[in-house]
Structure 1
Amino acid sequence: MDLSTLDQATEPAPGLVVFRLAPDHKPNQPQRWRISHKVSGLAIADSMQRENALKGAALLAKVTDWTQDADTVKAAIDRADLFAKLSFVWCTEPDAYPLGSAADASRNGTYTDVDIETAAAEAKASGFNALEVLVAMSETVPWCGLDTEDFNEAHNRIAELAGAN
């Protein structure tokens, strides 16, 4: 697996790669972060946030030696047990829980200043307070895919521009 071709790719543990899915890869999939087996390139799990994908990789590193070939790894793990454990760090099976076929969540977890200004204008028009802004953000693209610090920063900017307190 050539990490240089993957967006924000990192190898957090030997044999495991975490990267952001390309925008044109299943755009209706809100889980934009993937954990893959470096040796085979096979997908192991997906997560909505990068920080949770990294937690998932740390958990997976304790399960088996991921530097081995795919068949050896598959023989060493219990799939149901693996995903039960991964669910505690908000990781899912690859390509699970897509949105409707026409939905586009490819930008989930990334935003621009225009997104901030648009969200602030909508919050202001709705008369939202800071808590209502937070709730609305937690359930919509691109905000629900942000890591904690990025989410907090975006929330503060939106709330300030909207005059929400």
Structure 2
Amino acid sequence: MSKYKLYYFDTRGRAEIIRLILTQAGHPFDDIRYGHDEFQAHHKHEMPLEQMPVLEIISDQHQQKPSKLPQSLTIARYLAKEFDLAGKTNLQQAQVDSVVDTMMDLSQQFMIKVFHVQDPEKRETSKQEFLTKDLPQQFQNLEILFKMYNDGRGP
């Protein structure tokens, strides 16, 4: 079995889905977190695309050097397949992808409407809109998918 090192900032963000998959699979991993300044000054050049998250894969099979895999959704899909969490058929895999993509929509809405807003007053207004409008809508979308994929009672 491979050993994994996950590199990301000291926050949940785009690496959280990766942490959740590894935890669900019961597979230990090194969760390496950097502050923004530390990453920029000392570690950015170590990453394949100079961004994070990155999953370092250290194989038990006489692999000469570890592989570093960038891109959060690529990593998530890789791990889901590795741990048999991605679905057994093409349709099941597509259903899993639709849930992942819905979660990514939610994450992007938060980043655009709240995280990247500089003005504190506008940020608070955007945050309240996100919490009262966008978040409930995305949770409703996830509930629809859950019903469709689990008991067939969706739309």
TM-score normalised by length of structure 1: 0.25
Higher relative contact order (CA 8 A, sep 6+): 1
Query: Could you say which structure has the higher helix fraction?
Result: 2
